[in-house]
Structure 1
Amino acid sequence: GILTEHYAGKFPVWLAPVQVKVLTVASRHTEYAADLAHKLEREGIRIEVDDRNERVGYKIREGEVQKVPFLLVLGDQEVESQTVSVRKRSVGDQGAFTLQEFIDNVKEEISQKA
């Protein structure tokens, strides 16, 4: 109700129902996505995995429309280097991070409650 109107659906990270959405480029990335999801959930981060057989551009657009604060795009390069490619709402591509760097950044944003 009131919170949704106040934030126009763009909830701050600490309040967002889904804080991180993991997007796979292809089905071969699903196992890595599931592993990341498990680690993020253990850290108390609310997460969804989109491993549907859709174009990644479509998945990114859908995540942006849903106003998810962080989108993690996983392709061959990310699996090989054990990193995550981060897209932040209203900012765009943030580049590649290790999972721990990303977790630290998200937890910092959550703790700021801003």
Structure 2
Amino acid sequence: GEAAFYGPKLDIQAKNVYGKEDTMITIQLDMFLADRFDMTYIDANGEKKRPYIIHRTSMGCYERTLAWLIEKYAGKFPTWLCPEQVRILPISEKYSDYAKMVEKELLDNGVLVTVDNRAEKIGYKIREARLDRVPYMLVVGQKEAEEGLVSVRSRYLGDEGQKKVSDFVDAICKEIRTKEIRKIEVTEE
């Protein structure tokens, strides 16, 4: 193989869960690649010059960055980083329309949300959402539908009680916007 010939190089390191440093970001000056590809530019005096090439990675390779994040958070990403931030769990099929209305409100505010409309018991749906590491579960039934509420269960505090839909939307949007990282995790039930 060929050796790499670079000028100054800057690496940003981050420690993984084992305490080993991994390179996350690299910026380096390549003073030879322009010769190899016969690259030139015209300077202010009209003369041909060889450019210096800057190589950079904003966060290393994507695979390494994702692996680092998965390892760091053990799959329990902060809410703002989760691919599914909220899962709505209707108690039965007759509350699916209300669940869809809550879903629309969250989607309209940029929250990543799904509805679990399967004909399963609510305990099973909650357990699956926890195993999938979804930060928030919103249980909806008759009382919630009649009063415009959601019963909030979080990965962080467990049962957080009932909230108005608008209050929950405001709270989760703030958590996502500020990139809050909640440290408390309830144990598996």
Tell whether 2:74 aligns with 1:8. Answer: yes
Q: TM-score, normalised by structure 1?
A: 0.97
Q: Measure, in 2, the Cα distance between the counterparts of 1:90 and 1:111.
A: 18
Tell whether 2:96 aligns with 1:35. Answer: no
Amino acid of the structure 2 residue aligned with 1:37: E
Tell whether 2:111 aligns with 1:45. Answer: yes
User: 1:79 corresponds to which residue?
Assistant: 145
CA deviation after TM superposition for structure 1 residue 95, in Å: 0.5
User: 2:170 corresponds to which residue?
Assistant: 104
Q: Measure, in 2, the Cα distance between the counterparts of 1:107 and 1:44.
A: 8
Amino acid of the structure 2 residue aligned with 1:58: Y
Q: Measure, in 2, the Cα distance between the counterparts of 1:90 and 1:55.
A: 23
CA deviation after TM superposition for structure 1 residue 33, in Å: 0.5
In structure 2, list runs of 5 or more residues that go unmatched: 1-66, 182-189
Q: TM-score, normalised by structure 2?
A: 0.59
Q: Measure, in 2, the Cα distance between the counterparts of 1:82 and 1:108.
A: 20
Runs of 4+ in 1 over 4 A off after TM superposition: none
Tell whether 2:151 aligns with 1:58. Answer: no
Amino acid of the structure 1 residue aligned with 2:164: T
Q: Measure, in 2, the Cα distance between the counterparts of 1:90 and 1:67.
A: 11
Q: Measure, in 2, the Cα distance between the counterparts of 1:82 and 1:100.
A: 9
Q: Measure, in 2, the Cα distance between the counterparts of 1:41 and 1:112.
A: 18
Amino acid of the structure 2 residue aligned with 1:92: G
- Relative contact order higher in (CA < 8 Å, ≥ 6 apart): 1
Q: Measure, in 2, the Cα distance between the counterparts of 1:100 and 1:90.
A: 20
CA deviation after TM superposition for structure 1 residue 74, in Å: 0.4
Q: Measure, in 2, the Cα distance between the counterparts of 1:26 and 1:37.
A: 16
User: 1:94 corresponds to which residue?
Assistant: 160
CA deviation after TM superposition for structure 1 residue 60, in Å: 0.3
Question: Over alpha carbons, which structure has the higher Rg?
Answer: 2
Tell whether 2:84 aligns with 1:18. Answer: yes
CA deviation after TM superposition for structure 1 residue 90, in Å: 3.0
Amino acid of the structure 2 residue aligned with 1:32: Y
Identity %: 42
The alignment of Structure 1 onto Structure 2 pairs a total of residues equal to 114
CA deviation after TM superposition for structure 1 residue 84, in Å: 0.4
Q: Measure, in 1, the Cα distance between the counterparts of 2:151 and 2:72.
A: 30
